[in-house]
Each structure stands twice: as structure tokens, then as C-alpha cells.
């Protein structure tokens, strides 16, 4: 199941090559447009995969495309709503509870914890027909809302700590994913390949 979800992510148009060419410092708008388009494609792939996967055991009727569309919209709206709720709650907590902004460590932990809880809350929501909400979409929505609102309610040291911490986590996760894809692909390929053909 996880392999199919991972495959659906890789099948949507990947913008890693385009983003690696464009520098955020030189062209921030172009970088944001390309990155946003890639994220949007990934979200649509995840929602479509979850929607079609929930209808796996049912028969196809004339109204099945409308069921897929309704579930697609429901999954998107609920997952985004969960992310919005947690992101806005975090922003309000930092705005009104100023004692939480005395330590950058607490600020980074609170932001990480709220995004993590948003992910798990959305993953726990499922409908009787087997449709599960997407934690990845909730996490992304919570992170975007936190970047726009929570970021301005934390201390200057917290802003720097959050930027460094999440940049490090992102780079580490990206390297781990691409390393895993390379190793998994190598381990699943049959051993009947021709080394002479490869070198030629």
C-alpha cells in the first residue's frame, strides 16, 4: 500500500530538477511558482490515489465517476481544514501566550508538535467506506499557515532557530528519500542485466 502511494507521488510531475536550477535568492517568485506547482501536483496525486483505492472492491456503475469526484472533494476539504485548524490554533497560541516565546527550543518544538499532531489527526479520520483523509495534505497546510502567521508571533531567535531546524530536517529527509529510492530500485531489479551492455 505504501509503495503504491510512493509510486503515485513519483508519477506526478517532479520539479526537483527545475527547482535545483532556479535559485530562490535570484528569482523568488519563479522558484515559488515552480515549487508550488510541484506540490499541487503531488497533492492531487495523493488525493486521487486515496479516492480510487477506497473504491477498489466495488463495482463500476454509471455514477462511479461522480462518487470519485465527491470523495476527491471531501478528502481535500477535510484534510485542508484539519491543517488550517491546527495552523491557526498555533498562531493564536503564540500570539496570546507570550510566555511560550522565551525559548527558541520551545518555539521550534511547539511548531513541530502541532504540525505532527495535524498529520496524525488527519490520518485517524476515515469514513465507513474506507476513504482515509490525507495527513500529508494536512501537514502541508499547517506548515503553510504557520509560515504565514505563526512565524511573525515568535521571537527573533525563534525565527532563526525554526528556519535552521526545518531546513536541516528537510534536507536530511530529502536525502534519505532519494537514497532509499535508489537502494530499493537496485535491490528489486533482477540480476539478469548485462554489465557489458551497460559499460558499452
Digit-coded pLDDT (tens) for 74-122: 888 888 899 999 999 999 998 888 888 888 888 889 999 998 899 898 8
**pTM of the shown model:** 0.71
Is residue 48 in some structural domain? Answer: yes
Is residue 195 in some structural domain? Answer: no
Residue pointed to by grid coordinates 504557520: 146
Cα torsion for 71, 73, 74, 75, to the nearest 10°? 80
Q: Which of 126-130, 150-154, 180-184 has the highest mean pLDDT?
A: 150-154
Is residue 83 in some structural domain? Answer: yes
Is residue 193 in some structural domain? Answer: no
Please name the residues in contact with 93: beta carbons below 8 A apart, sequence gap of 6 or more.
100, 110
Nearest-angstrom CA–CA distance, 35 and 112: 22
Is residue 16 in some structural domain? Answer: yes
Digit-coded pLDDT (tens) for 13-40: 566 666 667 777 778 787 777 777 777 7
3-state secondary structure of 126: strand
Please name the residues in contact with 41: beta carbons below 8 A apart, sequence gap of 6 or more.
12, 13, 15
Is residue 74 in some structural domain? Answer: yes
Per the structure, the count of domains in the chain is 1
At residue 85, the pLDDT reads 93
Residues spanned by the domain of 63:
2-187
> What is the dihedral sign for C-alpha 33, 34, 35, 39?
positive
Burial class, 117, CB count within 10 angstroms (exposed 0-12 / middle 13-18 / buried 19+): middle
Is residue 194 in some structural domain? Answer: no
* Cα-based distances in Å from 95 to 22, 41, 151, 155, 175: 35, 33, 10, 11, 35
Is residue 148 in some structural domain? Answer: yes
Amino acid at each position: 500500500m505504501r509503495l503504491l502511494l510512493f509510486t503515485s507521488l513519483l508519477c506526478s510531475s517532479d520539479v526537483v530538477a527545475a527547482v535545483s536550477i532556479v535559485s530562490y535568492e535570484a528569482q523568488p517568485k519563479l522558484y515559488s511558482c515552480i515549487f508550488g506547482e510541484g506540490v499541487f501536483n503531488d497533492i492531487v496525486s495523493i488525493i486521487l490515489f486515496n479516492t480510487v483505492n477506497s473504491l477498489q472492491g466495488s463495482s463500476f456503475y454509471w455514477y462511479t465517476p461522480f462518487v470519485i469526484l465527491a470523495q476527491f472533494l471531501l478528502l481535500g476539504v477535510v484534510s485542508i481544514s484539519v491543517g488550517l485548524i491546527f495552523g491557526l490554533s498555533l498562531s493564536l497560541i503564540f500570539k496570546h501566550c507570550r510566555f511560550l516565546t522565551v525559548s527558541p527550543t520551545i518555539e521550534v518544538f511547539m511548531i513541530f508538535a502541532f504540525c505532527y499532531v495535524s498529520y496524525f489527526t488527519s490520518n485517524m479520520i476515515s469514513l465507513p467506506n474506507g476513504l482515509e483523509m490525507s495527513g500529508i495534505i494536512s501537514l502541508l497546510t499547517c506548515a503553510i499557515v504557520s509560515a504565514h502567521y505563526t512565524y511573525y508571533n515568535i521571537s527573533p531567535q525563534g525565527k532563526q532557530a525554526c528556519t535552521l531546524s526545518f531546513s536541516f530536517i528537510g534536507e536530511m529527509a530529502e536525502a534519505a528519500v532519494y537514497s532509499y529510492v535508489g537502494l530499493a530500485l537496485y535491490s528489486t531489479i533482477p540480476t539478469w542485466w548485462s554489465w557489458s551492455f551497460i559499460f558499452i
